[in-house]
Structure 1
Amino acid sequence: MKFHLLGEKTKVEIDVLTREYPNSSSYWDVNWVISNVKVEIPGYYVNFTASLRTDEIRDFVNELKSMNRYLTGKAILKNLDSFIHFEGEMDKLGHIDWSGETCYPAGSGAVLSFEFVSDQSHLINLIKELENIIYVFPVIG
């Protein structure tokens, strides 16, 4: 189950694969998902596996929905383990200014920071992709 942040000459693809601890009864453990992160920007290609949390994804999609509804605001996808951090802010013309950062291995590895712009037309598909992921991997607890 993939979601995409798209811009001119920029593609971020995050593929949520499976729960990391599916049999856990702990809120903190059961909500981790194993994901594959790919970033394609001019001159760089990043591809690594990361642990994300379903509550991080849920919060991100809720912020995107608000941004889409009011045509203003900010949405942030930040990861507890610091594998990824993405912030998007909509300007008055309907463009979303994104800043992104990846770190692999988390916390001590190589860091890639970048920025790109996308159009609000990408927002509806992104929200649908994220809603599908939350449907299949809901926040438990």
Structure 2
Amino acid sequence: MRKLNISLSGEKTKIEIEVLGRSYPDSTNDWDKNWITSVVHITIPGYVAQFTCELRTDELADFADELTAMHENLEGTAAFKHIEGAICMKGTIDNLGRILWEAETYYPPGDGAVLQFEFNSDQSYLTSSIRQLHTILSSFPVIEEL
């Protein structure tokens, strides 16, 4: 079985979200079916962090759309906003194709430790990240509520 992940990389920094599977595959509630169990891996100068959390497929789909628009237009921002705040990321691209990423993790969500950091990358990483997101979403598509 292939590893399903999305990576954001930059200068001495890497955020990787590995998707393990649907959190509640047997649920009869469409809202619950969109939760996916994931492992977040973060490597930044001076820190290595890893934790498991549940993300949502609709959050990943929104992020994929925003990254795609950023890549096509070479302007704007793209943000991943987790409903429980376990991981949030926002990238802003400048007119030279450089991206400033602002990230925050909160584990465990609600009452845990907070890690905030920034890093720079460039547009050359976007194609791979967008492709990774589409691979995840083809394996775990958003289930629309009826």
TM-score (norm 1): 0.98
Q: Could you say which residue in structure 1 is the equivalent of 2:45?
A: 42
2: CA distance between counterparts of 1:111 and 1:61?
25
Could you tell me which runs of 5 or more consecutive residues in structure 2 were left unpaired when the two chains were aligned.
none
User: How many angstroms does 1:26 deviate by?
Assistant: 1.3
SS in 1 for 2:28: coil
Size of the aligned set, in residue pairs, is 141
Q: Which runs of 4+ in 1 moved over 3 A?
A: none
Q: Could you say which residue in structure 2 is the equivalent of 1:72?
A: 75
Q: Could you say which residue in structure 2 is the equivalent of 1:102?
A: 105
Q: Does 1:133 align with 2:136?
A: yes
2: CA distance between counterparts of 1:123 and 1:23?
34
Could you tell me which runs of 5 or more consecutive residues in structure 1 were left unpaired when the two chains were aligned.
none
Q: Does 1:82 align with 2:97?
A: no
2: CA distance between counterparts of 1:49 and 1:111?
15
TM-score (norm 2): 0.95
User: How many angstroms does 1:83 deviate by?
Assistant: 0.3
Q: Does 1:113 align with 2:146?
A: no
Q: Could you say which residue in structure 1 is the equivalent of 2:63?
A: 60
RMSD: 0.6
User: How many angstroms does 1:107 deviate by?
Assistant: 1.5
SS in 2 for 1:55: helix
- Between 20-29 and 35-44, report the one with greater CA deviation: 20-29
Structure 1 counterpart of 2:87, which letter?
A: I
2: CA distance between counterparts of 1:123 and 1:116?
15
SS in 2 for 1:93: coil
